[in-house]
Amino acid sequence: MPPIIYNLGMLAGNTWNQHATAVGQIYYANVATPQQSQYNIPVGWEDHAADTWAADNSKTWPQWRNQRTGRVVLHDPHPPRPQNYLEAQNVATHLRLVEQTPDSPENLYRRPMGAILRFLFPEDQGYDVTQEEVALNYGKANFVVFKILCRPGGSTYAYDFCVVESKKIGMPWGSSEDQCREYCTDIQNNNHQTYRMIQIGLELRFYKYSHGNLAPLGGRLHIRRDVQTITQWAEYIKNNPLPLV
């Protein structure tokens, strides 16, 4: 059985006790056989969509309790909708890591960028954010924001709406823009136009690519300090799609 670091309380019926390890992983121990434990929710105590949850103030740490089953979670199961990407839990988690360790490798800087893109370009607005390996000499990973459109008659297709280059802190902007321009020559859009973003460390910049010309849209923006301006630029490019033909 894992070491008991936090005792979260009993499930309804008092036959199972709930504990959490130091890293926040919850496990369950049967009262009849306390030396045996399991990480999966015991059968019969699973959550239902109609369940209600309430903050449990009986502990010195925040936790929420299922009012039907007594099951405890360590995060709000129904948090308020984030007002901007900094309030999104996944963005906050990944961003905090690279802020605490600025010399993090490139793959760690891609994590907050991917989460931010999925917040700014959600699926319910017809976007799909993927991470793709570029088959050029550079071999760098890019995010592609696809826009899903529907032809007359019902068949759907995706086109490159915005391509994003993500790099760790300290990389040069000049060569990054050159690399961006090289990649744009291979875009699949028939009209050879697309929006671009370059992220280096905690800074990013929007661009418009059209027939070999890469033009910046505004200046460099800081992911944390300029959240409102970044959101406004994302809304601008969504409201001003480039022609495909």
* Residue 66: predicted pLDDT: 97
Query: pLDDT, tens digit, for every residue of 70-106?
Result: 999 999 999 889 999 999 999 999 999 999 999 999 9
* Residue 197: predicted pLDDT: 95
* Residue 139: predicted pLDDT: 46
CA distance 73 to 76: 7
Q: Which residues, in sequence order, are bridge partners of residue 148? A: 158
CA distance 168 to 200: 5
- Tracing tokens 């909708």 back to the chain, one arrives at 81
- H helices of 57-171, in order, are 89-100, 106-120
Query: pLDDT, tens digit, for every residue of 161-219?
Result: 999 999 999 999 988 888 777 766 556 566 678 999 999 999 999 999 988 889 999 99
Query: pLDDT, tens digit, for every residue of 114-164?
Result: 999 999 999 999 999 998 765 444 445 489 999 999 989 889 999 889 999
* Residue 174: predicted pLDDT: 87
* Residue 3: predicted pLDDT: 67
* Residue 153: predicted pLDDT: 84
CA distance 204 to 177: 12
Kindly indicate the confidence band of residue 17, based on its pLDDT and cuts at 50, 70 and 90.
very high
Select the CATH number that applies to the domain covering 85-239 from these four: 3.40.50, 3.30.70, 3.90.1570, 1.10.10.
Answer: 3.90.1570
CA distance 234 to 119: 10
Mean pLDDT of 221-226: 98
* Spatial CB neighbours of 239, under 8 Å, sequence gap ≥ 6: none
Start-end of CATH 3.90.1570 domains in the chain: 85-239
The share of the chain scoring above pLDDT 90, in percent, equals 73
* Spatial CB neighbours of 175, under 8 Å, sequence gap ≥ 6: none
* Residue 243: predicted pLDDT: 86
Q: What is the dihedral of CA 232, 234, 236, 240, to 10 degrees?
A: -170
CA distance 149 to 222: 31
CB atoms within 10 A of CB 214: 16
